[in-house]
Amino acid sequence: MGLVRRLFILTSFCALAPLPSAMATDVNVIGLTNGKAVLIVNSGRPRTLHVGDSTLDGVKLISARSDSAVLEIDEKRQTVTMGQTISSAEGFTGHKTVTLTADSAGHFSTIGTINGATVKFFVDTGASMVSMSAADAVRAGVDYTRGERTYSSTANGVVVVYVVKLDVVKVGDITLNNVVGSVHRDGSLPVVLLGMSFLKRLEMKRDGDSMTLTKKY
Domains of the chain (ranges; CATH) run 26-90 (2.30.30.830), 97-215 (2.40.70.10)
pTM score: 0.58
> Which one-letter amino acid corresponds to residue 4?
V
> Which one-letter amino acid corresponds to residue 120?
K
Model confidence over 155-212: pLDDT tens digits?
A: 677 889 999 999 999 998 899 999 999 999 887 788 999 999 999 999 999 988 889 9
Q: How far apart are CA 169 and CA 194, in angstroms?
A: 10
CA 101, chain centre distance (Å): 22
Q: Residue 6 is inside which H or E element, if any? A: helix 3-16
Model confidence over 20-29: pLDDT tens digits?
A: 334 678 888 8
CB 202 within 8 A of CB 98: no
Residue 2: its pLDDT value, please? 53
Q: Residue 5 is inside which H or E element, if any? A: helix 3-16
